[in-house]
């Protein structure tokens, strides 16, 4: 890593802004949710990034409670027919989830870089020593 790159100390803010986790100037996304192949400023390859379903899970979890609260308020205040929720509550819920997907995805990708996250693997040396330790007991 060259001396001019300062790795982010705040992966949440860097990710929410959609910036490169290494130089904090390049763009992280090549569209609304599609990650760029690499940073257009420092050249960092974003191949390490795999947020999987994390952003969608967090978006649904964050939006669920306020959405339910709104649906209940709407129902008890106006007493609309249940089909009216399809035209009011469902679109609000979907739009809210889509709006926070990009910042959440950026945050998770920057956190992966910041914490040097890698694919999980089993440490066979640790398992062997653990097995020997248990055998001695």
Structure confidence at residue 1 (pLDDT): 43
What are residue 133's phi and psi, to 5 degrees?
Answer: -60, -45
Q: If you average pLDDT over residues 40-60, what whole number do you get?
A: 93
More confident residue, 9 or 100: 100
Nearest to 18 by CA among 2, 40, 3, 47: 40
Task: Decide: helix, strand or coil at residue 62.
Answer: helix
CA–CA dist 19, 135 (Å, integer) = 51
Position 30 pLDDT exceeds 80: yes
Number of residues in the chain? 137
Task: Decide: helix, strand or coil at residue 35.
Answer: strand
Q: Give the start-to-end residue ranges of the domains of the chain.
A: 11-119
CA–CA dist 80, 78 (Å, integer) = 6
Task: Enumerate the β-bridge partners of residue 27.
Answer: 19
Q: Write down the pTM of the prediction.
A: 0.80
């Amino acid at each position: 890593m060259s001396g001019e790159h300062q790795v982010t100390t705040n992966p949440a803010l860097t990710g929410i802004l959609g910036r490169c986790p290494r130089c904090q100037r390049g763009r992280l996304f090549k569209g609304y949710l599609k990650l760029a192949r690499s940073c257009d400023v420092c050249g960092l390859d974003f191949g390490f990034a795999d947020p999987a379903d994390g952003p969608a899970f967090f978006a649904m979890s964050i939006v669920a409670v306020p959405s339910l609260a709104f649906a209940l308020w709407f129902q008890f205040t106006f007493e609309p027919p249940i089909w009216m929720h399809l035209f009011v509550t469902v679109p609000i819920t979907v739009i809210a989830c889509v709006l926070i997907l990009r910042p959440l995805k950026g945050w998770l990708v920057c956190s992966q870089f910041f914490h040097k996250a890698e694919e999980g693997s089993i440490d066979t040396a640790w398992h062997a020593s653990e097995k020997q330790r248990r055998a001695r007991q």
